[in-house]
Amino acid sequence: MPAQTPADTPADTPARNRRILLARRPCGVPVPDDFRQVEEAVPTAGDGEILVRNRLLSVDPAIRGWLDDKESYFPPIQLGALINAIVIGTVVESRVPGYAPGDIVTGFGGWEDYSRLTPSPIVSKLDPAPDVPLSRYLSALGPTGLTAHVGLHVIAPVRAGETVVVSAAAGAVGSIAVQIGRLRGCRVVGIAGGADKCRWLVETLGVGAAIDRHDPTPLDDALKAHCPAGIDVYFDNVGGATLDTILGHMNIGGRIATCGMIADYNAAEPYGVKNLWQLVVKRLNMRGFLTYDHEDALPAARRDLGQWVAQGALISTEEVVDGLDNTVATFLRLFTGSHSGKLLVRP
C-alpha cells in the first residue's frame, strides 16, 4: 500500500508554465492522446486575481466526467482548454487585498504549474498546521474528507450499530468513508478491486469485512454472507450493476448517498438499473450530492476530520507523484484500479 508521502517541500518557481489541455474527447477509457501538454509564458495576475505556483494537483475520477460534452454539474471542459482540478499553491503575485506572496491557497484551478485564480467560495486561503503535510488538505482534511463526511452525516446519515457499505472503498473518498462509518459505531463493509486492497481495508482501515469485486463469488452472495442483517446505508461511488445488486439488500428506511458513478464514466451507454422498485419496497432514500452545496455542514465536518486525523483515529492515505509530466499517466491509473487512497501530483 502507498506510503504517506509528505508534499510540503518548498515550491520552486519554473520560468515557463506547463499546462495540460484537452486534445480530444475520450471515447471510453481515456488514453494519453486525449491530452496535450503545452508550455507557455508564466502569466501575470489580472485585477482581482492572484497568481499561484501550484504545489499539488488533485487527480480525481470526477474529472473524467468533465471531459465529455454532456450536461453535468460543471460545464464540460472545452477542446483545447485546460484540464480543471482542485489545487494547492503558493501565491507568487497578488492583485487582491488580503492575499500576499507566500500565502497558501487552495481551490479550483487546473493541471498546470501556475494558475491565475480569483478568490471565491471555492478558492480561498489555507492555513495549514505546521506538522501536517500539505497533501492532507486535498485528502482527509480537504474536499475528499468533506465529501465522505457530508455523505454519511447529511445525505445518508449513519447511526451506531447500522451496517454501512461503501463501494470503491479503497479509493480517495471511499477510504475516508469506511473509517467515518467505523468511527460512528457502524459495521462497515467495503467493496474494492483486489485482494491487496481488501486486506488493507480490513487490517489498516478497520472495516468489518471487505468484498473483492475481482473474486468470482457473485456480489449478491458476498453481500448475503457479509451483511446478514441487510444494509442500512450505502455510500455509492460506482453506480451501475453494483448499485443494482445492493438495492436488493437494503433494509427498510435505508439511505443511499450517490457520490459518483465511476462504473458509467467510461461506458458508451450507462448500465440500466432494474431494481428501483426496492425504493418503494424498502422506503429508501437515494440522494445525489455535491459537497459544496452543504456549506452549513462543513465547519462541523472540518472539526471532526481535524480531530480524528490529529488523534490518529482516521488514516489519510495520499500518494503524491512527482512531476507535472506524469499527471496524465497518474490520472489513467484511476481507471485501472492500481491505487489506494488519494492520488496527487506535485508539478
Residues 6+ apart with CB under 8 A from 173: 144, 147, 148, 151, 237, 259, 260
190 binds a second copy (CB under 8 A): no
At 26, list the grid cell: 475520450
**Minimum CB–partner distance for residue 74 and a second copy (Å):** 9
Tell me: does residue 289 bind a second copy (CB under 8 A): yes
Distance CA 61, CA 117 (A): 23
Residue 230 and residue 163 in contact, taking contact as beta carbons nearer than 8 Å = yes
- Residue of 36, 43, 116, 271 that binds a second copy (CB under 8 A): 271
| Beta bridge pairs of residue 53 | 90, 114
- Please state the closest distance from residue 248 (CB atom) to a second copy, in A: 8
Helix axes 143-150, 172-183, angle to 10 degrees: 50
Q: State the Rg of the chain over Cα.
A: 20
171 contacts a second copy (rule: CB under 8 A) = no
71 binds a second copy, rule: CB under 8 A: yes
Q: By CB under 8 A, is residue 220 in contact with a second copy?
A: no
Applying CB under 8 A, among 259, 301, 305, 315 the residue interacting with a second copy is: 259
Closest CB 196 distance from a second copy, rounded Å: 29
CA angle 98, 58, 68 (to 5 degrees): 115
CB 99 within 8 A of CB 91: yes
Does 286 interact with a second copy (rule: CB under 8 A)? yes
Q: Which is nearer to a second copy, 65 or 341 (CB)?
A: 65
Q: Which stretch binds a second copy (CB under 8 A): 44-52, 67-75, 108-116, 328-336?
A: 67-75
When the beta carbons of 270 and 323 are compared against a second copy, the nearer one is 270
Nearest distance from C-beta of residue 241 to a second copy, angstroms:
10
Q: Does 173 bind a second copy (CB under 8 A)?
A: no
> Using CB under 8 A, which of 20, 57, 198, 243 touches a second copy?
243
Q: Which of 260, 314, 343, 344 binds a second copy (CB under 8 A)?
A: 260
Distance CA 191, CA 212 (A): 6
For residue 147, state whether it binds a second copy (rule: CB under 8 A).
no
Pair 327, 111: CB distance under 8 Å? yes
Work out how close the CB of 293 gets to a second copy at its nearest, in angstroms, rounded to a whole number.
Answer: 6
Neighbours of 271 (CB within 10 A): 16
- Taking the complex as a whole, the smallest distance from the CB of residue 319 to a second copy amounts, in Å, to 25
86-90-96-97 Cα dihedral, nearest 10 degrees: 120
Q: Is 281 in the site for a second copy (CB under 8 A)?
A: yes
Q: Which residue shows C-alpha cell 489555507? A: 126
Told to check if 300 binds a second copy by CB under 8 A, we report no
Cα–Cα distance, 58 to 263 (Å, whole number): 20
Kindly state whether residue 287 participates in binding a second copy, applying the rule CB under 8 A. Answer: yes
By CB under 8 A, residue 282 contacts a second copy: yes
CA distance 246 to 97: 51
Residue 230 grid coordinates: 441487510
Residue 189 contacts residue 163 (beta carbons within 8 Å): yes
The binder of a second copy chosen from 9, 13, 72, 338 (CB under 8 A): 72
User: In the bound complex, what is the minimum distance in angstroms from residue 65's beta carbon to a second copy?
Assistant: 8
Stretch that binds a second copy, among 36-44, 48-56, 66-74, 302-310 (CB under 8 A): 66-74
**Identity of the residue, 271 or 335, whose beta carbon is nearer to a second copy in the bound complex:** 271
Place of cell 471542459: 77
Residues found near a second copy in the complex (CB under 8 A) = 71-73, 239, 243, 258-261, 264, 269-290, 293
